[in-house]
A = this chain, B = another copy of it.
Amino acid sequence: MNITIKDIARVTNVSPATVSRVLNNVGGYNEATRKKVLQAAAELGYRRNESARSLVKNSSNLIGVIMPQVSTLFYGDIMTGIERAAHQSGYSIIISHSGNVGDKIPECIKLMAERKVDGLIIATVEINDEHLAMVQELRIPYLLLATRMPDRNVPYLKVNDFDAAYTATHHLIENGHEKIGLVGLSLTDRVAGTTRFEGYKRALEDNGLKFDPHLVKEGDYGFYSGQRAMQSYLQEKTELTAVFCVSDDVALGVISVAADHGIQIPDDLSVVGYDNTIIAEMSIPPLTSIDQPFMEMGEEGCSMVIDAIRHKQKIYSKIMPYTLVERRSVKQITHKIF
């Protein structure tokens, strides 16, 4: 049998109400009772029953996290950040995977509803209007993390993909590159795909370079996508001196087939990645990459929803700062015009 508040009450000769009060630190008892209750609780090995507590408080001290189960490098970082912030504030986190294509999102939301989570973080997956409606029905604070809903006023926390892509491309241009490829563009991904594409194009235009569709390779964010793109460049004998990759994984993909073909990075080809996961550092040569602060995003995002829960206030979207971290995969080349 489990030890309950009543057991403590019996042992200490006070009412369960008082036990509850001291255990919850709400005041309304003198020091003597406080001491004996706490001592009895410790001696009996009391563990409070969160279910009972949740039931009466109509809240669970739970933050729900919905994430896709793709094994991306940053999954752990985001989770770590979220868990840290939650733990600090006395919340626990419960997670549910949305499937690779987000097909299980409704199920996830239902689950979160049953668990009466106090707040919800939807990370990394794109949701649609139907999902949004379900989430809103929950009437709890929620936040899109490292994702967003275009054209909808839904709170999110993420890096500005347009700017970051612009910066990455601009960095290449600054270093004298004029034929710059874009690798891994997902046209169906309106959050990170097309936005980065726009940033890339704009950087080109702003610097008087012509956008050439032959230089962009569609794909996804994976390693193989990068490999396929590089193979395709090779086969088509595309002339380029640099590529901007939509993720570190695809960057490593292009580097790997480049290596197989004796193409030197950065001497023959400069490459910049995106995410700045650990593999950017592991790359040979180490990869220049756009840093997304995933751990901080998890932490900050979770704090935002907790604040909203506690102060019953609205969550405002926030842009996280990105940085370009330079390593050794970009070469400065001389301008042809000189």
Residues in A lying within 8 Å of B, measured CB to CB:
2, 45, 47-52, 54-55, 58, 60, 62, 69-73, 75-77, 79-80, 83-84, 87, 92-97, 110-111, 113-116, 137, 223, 249, 252-253, 255-256, 259, 278-279, 281-286, 295
Contact = CB atoms under 8 A, between A and B. Distances in A.
A80 B69 contact: yes
A100 to B, nearest CB: 10
A168 B318 CA distance: 48
B95 A83 contact: yes
Nearest to A112: B92
Contacts of A115: 50-51, 92
Closest 3 CB pairs of A and B: A75-B76, A51-B54, A71-B76
Nearest to A252: B282
Given A79-B75, A284-B256, A69 B84 contact: yes
11 contacts: A50-B114, A51-B51, A71-B76, A71-B278, A73-B73, A80-B97, A92-B96, A253-B282, A255-B284, A279-B282, A282-B283
Contact of A71 (B77, B284, B285): B77
Contact of A80 (B62, B71, B252): B71
Nearest to A48: B114
Given A75-B76, A97-B87, A49 B282 contact: no
Nearest to A49: B116
Contacts of A137: 45
Contacts of A2: 58
A17 to B, nearest CB: 19
Q: How many copies does the complex hold?
A: 2
Contact of A113 (B47, B96, B249, B278): B47
Contacts of A77: 71
A285 B284 CA distance: 10
Given A76-B72, A83-B69, A93-B95, A47 B110 contact: yes
B45 A55 contact: no
B281 A223 contact: yes
Nearest to A47: B113
Contacts of A116: 49-51
A96 B95 CA distance: 11
A92 B111 contact: yes
B83 A96 contact: yes
Given A71-B295, A223-B282, 17 more contacts: A45-B137, A49-B116, A51-B115, A52-B55, A69-B83, A69-B84, A71-B76, A72-B76, A75-B76, A84-B97, A93-B95, A94-B94, A223-B281, A249-B282, A256-B286, A279-B279, A282-B283
